[in-house]
Structure 1
Amino acid sequence: LAMLTTAVGLLPVPVAFFAAAVAIVLFKVIPLRDVYQSLDGPILVMLAVLIPVSDSLRTTGATALVAAELARFGTVLPAPGALTLILVAAMAVTPFLNNAATVLVMAPVASEFAADLGYRPEAFLMAVAIGAGCDFLTPIGHQCNTLVMGPGGYRFSDYPRLGLPLSFLVVIVAVPMLAIVWPMN
């Protein structure tokens, strides 16, 4: 129902999905005890703290400053090169933050960057989303990497050795697909 109401434009996405989550708890589809146990406190606190940080970056002009610096490099690049720059920047940030935090920090930068270069922001925002979800270089940037480290017998040095080619593959496939699905001009 949440997807249907957002698809037809009856409700905004956050309202529809929050209502769906509340309904799941109210109708006891998931027991309340399981809901509380599945909440990850440190992640919630980090996201709650990063939302105002992201907003302060935007309101103080730091986002515009970072975007302007990136735009200096982007002006000499063709549109796919500028898109690659944002994708790689998001991939570079996500090992240090989790993927949701990376999106909170990088999305305003990408939007401002696109505006500075005269491009539509959709492809750049999707590049941030893809880059934030593609941390193959460290075991700490994404929870799945951390989960397989022990059972797989991996060392920290295994991640960049195997993850760098995979990251290149993501860039090679994602940039043309983004440009096709979300034209920048």
Structure 2
Amino acid sequence: MEKYQQSEDFYVVTPLDRPNTFQRNPFKGWITIILFLAMILLVTIGILSMFKAMAIVVVIMLAMKVITMEEVKKYIHFDVLLLIACSFGIGMAMMKSGLAPWIADKILSVGEPLGLFSLLLLIYIATNLFTEIITNSAAAILMIPIVFEMAANLDLEPMGFAITMTIAASSSFITPIGYQTNLIVYGPGGYTFKDYVKIGTPLSILVMLITVMIVYFWWF
């Protein structure tokens, strides 16, 4: 019979004894499911925003002792939150210092003569390069002021540019450090950096072409 070995990031199927972590309280499990479904319903019909609904669910779960403050603090990645917060500051500094408009002008000077399709490709490539070496959230925050400046210069709606940037920031396949799930499987899977480059590069190109084509024909 297959058992489970507990890991800090995920569970690996292995012939070891089943840990106590899996022996949950059924009552707490049902409470969690009911609260989760209620949260989705309230957000879907527009009574609460996602943030408010999630905050209320957390408060209720704490009050009913479904979870404890120690568990909450354990699963909050403060280093990631700090990185995202610092990235917001960097993004604001790029706007106020004039760096974002300068980068936007440089991308425009190269991509605009080649057409909007090429410009979208450049936005995707620039964002994807950022997300391969830093987190996806930080890459998106760095690119937000740039793409909005470009949209303003071209007198176009920024949504298409924002969609391109968002997908590019979430499509880190070429390095193991670009996204959390890449790192999760990096060690246990026995992969090397070359494996990510070899498989991730064609996948990134495929996602880029599909994304840019959809954005180009749907939003512009």
TM-score range, shorter chain: 0.7 to 0.9
Q: Number of residue pairs matched?
A: 175
Give distance in 1, aligned partners of 2:124 and 2:82: 26
Deviation at 1:172, TM superposition (A): 1.6
Question: In structure 2, what residue type is equivalent to 1:2?
Answer: V
Q: Is the 8 A contact 2:176 2:186 kept in 1?
A: yes
Q: In structure 1, what residue type is equivalent to 2:83?
A: M
Structure having greater relative contact order (Cα 8 Å, sep ≥ 6):
1
Please report the RMSD computed on the Cα atoms of aligned residues, expressed in angstroms: 1.7
More moved, 89-98 vs 111-120: 111-120
- Asked whether the equivalents of residues 112 and 118 of structure 2 are also in contact (C-alpha less than 8 Å), the reply is no
Counterpart residue number, 2:110: 73
What is the correspondence of 1:1-185 to structure 2 with a 5 Å cutoff? 1-5=42-46, 16-28=49-61, 31=67, 32-183=69-220
User: For residues 95-125 of structure 1, what are the alpha-carbon distances to aligned partners after superposition, in whole Å with 9 as ceiling and x for unaligned?
Assistant: 1210111111101111111222333211111
Residue type of the partner of 2:43?
A
Deviation at 1:2, TM superposition (A): 2.9
CA contact (8 A) 1:75 1:117 kept: no
1:141-165 deviation line (CA, Å, top 9, x unaligned) = 1111111111211001111111110
State the identity %: 30
The alpha-carbon distance between structure 1 residues 160 and 80, as it changes in their structure 2 partners (threshold 3 A), is same
Give 1:74 deviation, angstroms: 1.7
| Partner in structure 1 of residue 24 of structure 2 | none
The normalised TM-score by structure 2 is: 0.74
Q: Call closer, same or farther: CA 1:158–1:43 in 2, change over 3 Å.
A: same
Amino acid at match of 2:157: R
Distance 1:59 1:2 in 2: 36
Which range is displaced more, 30-39 or 151-160?
30-39
- Alpha-carbon distance, 1:3 to partner: 4.3
TM-score (norm 1): 0.88
- Give the counterpart letter for 2:112 in structure 1: T
Deviations, residues 62-107 of structure 1 (Å, cap 9, x unaligned): 1111101111012212111111110111111101210111111101
Q: Is the 8 A contact 1:74 1:117 kept in 2?
A: no
**Runs of 4+ deviating beyond 4 Å:** none
Code of the residue aligned with 1:134 in structure 2: it is S
Which sections of structure 2, spanning at least 5 residues, go unmatched? Answer: 1-41
8 Å CA contact 1:90, 1:102 repeated in 2: yes
Report which stretch shifted further, 29-38 or 134-143. Answer: 29-38
Question: Aligned AA for 1:59?
Answer: K
